[in-house]
Amino acid sequence: MHTPLAWHNLTSSRGKFAMASCGVAFAVILMFMQIGFRNALLDSNVEMLKLFNADLVLVSRARFNLANETRFPREILDRVAALPGVADTCAVAIERAVAKVRVEGHTSRSIRVMCVRPSPKFFQDQSLVRLLNEAHREGYALVDRRSKSLYGFALDDEAELARQHIELNDQSLKVRDTFSLGTDFAHDGTLMMTERIFPKYFPWRAPGASPLDVVDIGLINTHGTRDIANLRDEILKLAPGQIDLYAMHEIIDRDLKFWSRNTPIGVIFGIGTIMGLIVGAIICYQIQFTDISDHMPELATLKAMGYSAGYFWSLVLCQSIYLACLGFIPGLIVSWAVYMTLAELSGLVMRMTVGRIVLVLGLTLMMCVASGILAIRKLWRADPASLF
């Protein structure tokens, strides 16, 4: 019967085995944290778009990312709505730089304010549509329940929230009910309202015209019966050089690439991930080097008996894979718990996706196998005769 020597070597001492697993788990947690922070900072910037359901997204050509406040005339979106193949359009207005909210007892702070028509066709979450319809009828706003606590919103008590005295741009604002969005680079919190009350708080938004005559983001749904490429060409011809048109996934990818390539986020957290990988490789190398040293007489005996190099390679590689898997599982569990805690405390979007789990598992296997390959060199240098 085949003896699982690799497993017996690792588990011969429970204390050393536990320390080895903890060492690998530590490296796994380091990598998950770096990847998690990087993707949280990137994903949070496009989370707003994920509220919506649209085939195409229209923005000003000068709007190089969603945080930029460059707009286009609403007239363009109205002309788009009249094109054959367009089922419906929806204008989204966003204010941040001039939006100041103050909850009684707290200081005035900048906040993102979104204005959108509560159309069921344009929202992923229909419960949010119901809340917005009620807010439209009653003339109040919704607040993101993941807004930072420094604003002073009573986010855990909707009855208290409704009683709070809140001002937006020095005018009284009723706030009831909450929705979930999250914070990002530029925004510590978000209010959402409809076109009924938005112009009251931002009358200067379009000088000489209605505050709703300029649009930040235009959402477009199509009938699906026309060629999208031709429809896109027709839309762009309505205002040459003024607008850009994207599918929803395209504008999300565009913003992710902007923040990754034009800010130090990608570099900083990429280096952090590599450092976690290096730390883990050093830990694994020390574990396996020590194991080979402790069992050198036994291994040398097997070598003298004629066991092939392939046997020793398989032995060390099996130990490496065992180490990777046994360290990865507790590291994943701890990282998941930390993700959930940080998401709750910071408001950032920290998701443990299948892709990210597979990535870290792959890096962990690579780390352990590479350290095993380095550690086995001690066995090749050993002379069996000199050990007896």
Cβ of 67: how many Cβ atoms within 10 Å?
18
pLDDT at 195 over 50: yes
Residue 388 has pLDDT above 50, yes or no: no
Tens of pLDDT, residue by residue over 306-331, are 666 667 777 778 888 888 888 899 99
Q: Which percentage of the chain shows pLDDT scores above 70?
A: 89
d(CA 62, CA 239): 13
Least confident of 97-106, 142-151, 312-321: 312-321
| Mean pLDDT, residues 363-369 taken together | 87
Q: Is the pLDDT of residue 3 over 60?
A: no
Q: How confident is the model at residue 387 (pLDDT cuts 50, 70, 90)?
A: very low
Please list the alpha-helical segments (H only) found in the chain. Answer: 5-11, 14-43, 74-81, 126-138, 158-163, 198-201, 228-237, 248-262, 265-294, 296-304, 309-346, 354-375, 377-381
Burial group, residue 241, by CB count within 10 angstroms (0-12, 13-18, 19+): exposed
Give me the amino acid identity at 284: C
Flag the least confident range among 119-133, 160-174, 257-271.
Answer: 257-271
Residue 298: pLDDT band (50, 70, 90) is low
Query: Which of 9-13, 49-53, 64-68, 232-236 has the least mean pLDDT?
Result: 9-13
Per-residue pLDDT averaged across 83-99, rounded? 91
Residue 188 φ/ψ region, left for φ over 0, alpha for ψ in the -120 to 50 degree band, beta for the rest: alpha
pTM of the model: 0.77
